[in-house]
Structures are given as structure tokens and as C-alpha cells.
Amino acid sequence: MTPSPAVSYWLMKSEPQECSIDDVLAAPDATVPWTGVRNYQARNFMRDGMRIGDGVLFYHSSCPQPGIAGIAEVASTTRPDPTQFDPKSPYFDAKSKPEAPRWLLLDVKALRKTRLLGLPELRANPALAEMTLLQRGSRLSITPVSAEHWQLITEKLLKN
């Protein structure tokens, strides 16, 4: 997938027991709301940087074999995440109010499942050394991906 200058690229992490690439592909229109983001920097990436049509590396995290599991795209603009107002939700935020929501979501559309591109393989490629995901202490659920890294991953590393 050749990079487009008008498009940005992102890596979005999801725990597969909560929402896997298979879950998204099985959803109506292969689209799900990306709920539960509770980090201000990740929220700001959604609010200020992500646009409809941006490319997404769908990453399975907090599982036995973490890694890139699919290709997706941003499918909507941001809106308030309703889970922040639901006391029964694990993402409830008592300090967030409907008139001044703290947390946002956007829709993500799965385009295809890929072979799992795990951390060891990503780390073994010197051309990806500067990728945010691979930096020490990087734990954000949403991170930008350079056009060069996007191209390397989607065109070379994810060949089936």
C-alpha cells in the first residue's frame, strides 16, 4: 500500500479478548467504535490528528503473541465516548460530564486481516528502529506511523 501524502498513518492497539481484528471484520460494515481510550495523548491523536481514510495498523496487545494483525482505516470523525458516562462500564469516568466530555471515540473499519507481524519480527528490522511502538517505555494505545514505516510494513513485511 503506497503512502499517500494526504493521508496519515496510525497504529491502534486492542486487546483481542475485547476487540480483535476478527471481531471488527464480523461487525456490520466491518466497522466498530474505538471506545475506552483513557489517555490524553492518545485522545488528542484521535481528536487533532486522525481523519477519515487514514490508514491503521490494527495491533493485538496484552496477549500471548502481540503484533500487527490487520489493516484498517479511520471511518468517522470523533464524538464523545458513551462508556465514560456508564457507571457499569470499566471505562466509566465519574469526573466526565455530558456537557463537557473528557473522552472521545471514532469508528475504525477493518480492511483485511494479515498474518501476525509480531514484536520480534518488527524489532529485527533495522529500518523500523525509530517506530514509536518499538521505543522503550512506549505504551500508548494509539501512535503515529511514518509513511516510510507504513510502506515497509504493508508492502514488504505483510506479504502473504
Determine, yes or no, domain membership for 160.
no
Find residue 74's DSSP bridge partners.
108
Q: Is residue 151 classed as helix, strand or coil in its secondary structure?
A: helix
**pLDDT confidence of 150, banded at 50, 70, 90?**
very high
What pTM was computed for the model? 0.92
Determine, yes or no, domain membership for 157.
no
Determine, yes or no, domain membership for 150.
no
- Indicate the number of domains in the chain: 1
Determine, yes or no, domain membership for 22.
yes
Q: Is residue 152 classed as helix, strand or coil in its secondary structure?
A: helix
**pLDDT confidence of 1, banded at 50, 70, 90?**
low
Determine, yes or no, domain membership for 54.
yes
Which of 33-58 are b and which e, b meaning 16 or more Cβ less than 10 Å from the residue's Cβ?
A: bbbbbbeeebbebbeeebeeebbbbb
Residue whose C-alpha cell reads 516510510 in the numeric block: 148
C-alpha cell at 3: 503512502
Express each pLDDT in 117-132 by its tens digit: 999 999 999 999 999 9
Determine, yes or no, domain membership for 149.
no
Determine, yes or no, domain membership for 109.
yes
pLDDT, residue 156, reads 80
pLDDT, residue 7, reads 86
**Structural domain span for residue 116:** 9-144
CATH of residue 123: 3.10.590.10
Determine, yes or no, domain membership for 127.
yes
